[in-house]
Amino acid sequence: MKENETEITKRIMERFWEDFPLELDVAIIGAGPSGLAASKYIAQAGKTVGIFEKKLSIGGGIWGGGMLFPVIVVQAEALPILEDLNIKGRDAGDGYYTLNAVEFVTKLGSNVIDCGAKILNGMEVEDLIIKNDEVSGVVINWSAVSIARLHVDPLGIRARAVIDATGHQCEVCKMVLSRGYKFAAKSGAIEGEKAMDVESGERFVVENVREVYPNLWVTGMAVSAVFGGPRMGPIFGGMIKSGKRVAELVLKKLSK
């Protein structure tokens, strides 16, 4: 076979468009631990899932572990989710388990892809499509466009449900507020994270997963930021439990 430049280009373009989702059941914004865990359960249930990640790499805050030590700690209650993901933690005593950060990201990503979720990396969500007072899709652009501050119009993708898994920044929830729409947080605004309290924080990010605006859900650290929960430091069980919880709630609504 003789390599031909245009034939290579053609295959890149054709395969990209073949795989590119214009209509999704669920759009997840952010490929950190909560967004990836959510995508696994939703894709596994047979729904079409697109995960938009503005960086080239997936994993969000997993890579840095705690203070750049690449060791991830997970508590025993999250072990069933690790088992679902085919990931083994190492027993560290007293109900704690550890994983290498690189192992956690790569195995999580691989499992999510095998379940059929599409990861769209290098693509950021910069706005929402809102019709008749409900979210009906996301507005996307290449992250390189905003980094280079280019004046380029974005494109729209339809989705029946949208999940904000953007972590501390809760970027998608802020988009709703900045447009003046009513919001489910107590004060009607972003409450902001509270100081560290691991026990309450881990519970909070699971118990407060909810639909903050019709068809817009929030999971992971974005839950703490939106509803004013305590931060919990470098333990990741709450993140994947929060991802699983949002998947259950979204699937329940989609089945109605």
Within 64-93, which residues bind ligand FAD (CB under 6 A)?
Answer: none
Residue 167 engages ligand FAD in binding (rule: CB under 6 A): yes
DSSP 207-256: HT-EEEETTEEE-THHHHHHHTPBP--S--HHHHHHHHHHHHHHHHHHT-
Count of CB atoms situated within 10 Å of the CB of 219: 34
H helices, E strands: number in the chain: 9, 11
Residue 164 engages ligand FAD in binding (rule: CB under 6 A): no
Residue 124 engages ligand FAD in binding (rule: CB under 6 A): yes
Cα–Cα dist 61/35, whole Å: 12
Residue 208 engages ligand FAD in binding (rule: CB under 6 A): no
Return the number of the residue (89 or 167) whose C-beta is nearest ligand FAD.
Answer: 167
Return the number of the residue (55 or 118) whose C-beta is nearest ligand FAD.
Answer: 55
Cα–Cα dist 65/101, whole Å: 6
Q: What is the DSSP letter of 169?
A: G
Among 29, 74, 128, 247, binds ligand FAD (CB under 6 A): 29
Instruction: Give the interface segment with ligand FAD, choosing from 5-13, 24-32, 93-101, 105-113 (CB under 6 A).
Output: 24-32
Which chain residues interact with ligand FAD by CB under 6 A? 29-35, 52-55, 60-62, 124-125, 165-167, 169, 171, 220-222, 231-234, 239
